Structure 1
Amino acid sequence: MPDAAYYASLPRTRGAAAALLLDDLGRVLLVKPTYKDGWFLPGGVIEAGESPLEACVRECQEELGLVPRLDGLVCVDWAPPRDSVVDAANVFVFGGAISGAEIEAIRLPADELSDHVLVAPEKVPELAPSHISRRMDPCLRGMAEGRAVYLEDGREPVFGVAEA
């Protein structure tokens, strides 16, 4: 029988999930929150008992008013604590597509998001905070290669050969 006190004593890591949605021109959909500066991928915190994929779909429904067409996981990024306020988190990014009709149908919740935009991937660093924009190139590469990439704070770690 598992020891409940032991499991309760283990550290907890927060999680978030986001959708990297590209239109037919390869532009990235970003949203602008009302409660913080910068532009972000649609997404948010993974709630208790929710899978990363469920969180991504729920957040897109809440933020965009639509269920995204996702092709799969493109990135897991370990995000370190920031500003002594934000705990470390595992961020799951799912890639997908968004059509012109879906873009026209976007309905933002006015209390949470003020705008949305489609931008060329190279323009993301001009709009998004650095911890978001660092993720962009590896995520796009993962999408193109049909695989997920692992990042730490938006950067690919260097894996070495273990010494014998």
Structure 2
Amino acid sequence: MTTFAGDYTAALPRKRMGSGVLFRDVANRVLLLEPTYKDYWELPGGAVEGDESPHDAARREVEEELGLAMSPGRLLVVDWVPPRPGRTEGVMFVYDGGLLDAKATANLQLPADELRSWAWCTPAESQQRLSPLLARRVAAALEATAGTVTYYLEDGKRVC
């Protein structure tokens, strides 16, 4: 991270940030990933690194996790997540990855040390596989694909 002498912003509070991408198939199911290091599934994505934009992080993570070179579409949701034991507060972004066809999904390449598998999931299957917070976020992102607005969430719950 770049800091400048006399820059008062260097002393301001920091927030953890993450970016994810919502991919759908023609049946409007969402693509979820099964990490090797967690008990629940996730969207493709991850942490935003220092001096990296959330959009660039989403692009980078999709390439690292799926072997898919793409530029994420519009921002679907922004979710402020309050602190909890073992985690600081954070701001999470979910971008639209659009529809993936059978050819694209046949070429997905998962890093075996990080991801066990992937699956197309209905909303009900997503509720079962995701943490409650992620399930709320994914449901809101899926709803946002039907319109042209970005939803603002807090703890996965739509505020506006």
The alignment's TM-score, normalised by the length of structure 2, stands at 0.91
**Contact kept? 2:55, 2:72, Cα under 8 Å:** no
The one-letter code of the counterpart of 2:88 is D
Matches within 5 A, 1:1-164: 3-4=6-7, 6-68=8-70, 70-83=72-85, 85-95=86-96, 96-157=98-159
Q: CA deviation at 1:69?
A: 5.7
Q: CA deviation at 1:87?
A: 1.1
SS of the aligned residue for 2:103 comes to helix
Provide the identity percentage. 38
Q: Deviations over 1:121-140 (max 9, x none)?
A: 23211110111001122211
**Contact kept? 2:58, 2:72, Cα under 8 Å:** no
Q: CA deviation at 1:86?
A: 1.2
SS of the aligned residue for 2:91 comes to strand
Gaps of 5+ in 1: 159-164
The alignment's TM-score, normalised by the length of structure 1, stands at 0.89
In 2: Cα distance, 1:43 partner to 1:36 partner? 14
Q: Deviations over 1:10-40 (max 9, x none)?
A: 1000110000100111110000111111110
Does the C-alpha gap of structure 1 residues 68 and 98 become closer, same or farther in structure 2, counting only changes over 3 Å? Answer: farther
In 2: Cα distance, 1:56 partner to 1:121 partner? 22
Q: Deviations over 1:32-76 (max 9, x none)?
A: 111111110000000111111100010000000002463311000
**Contact kept? 1:68, 1:97, Cα under 8 Å:** no
Please, what is the CA RMSD of the aligned residues?
A: 1.6
Q: CA deviation at 1:99?
A: 1.4
In 1: Cα distance, 2:43 partner to 2:70 partner? 12
**Contact kept? 1:68, 1:98, Cα under 8 Å:** no
Gaps of 5+ in 2: none
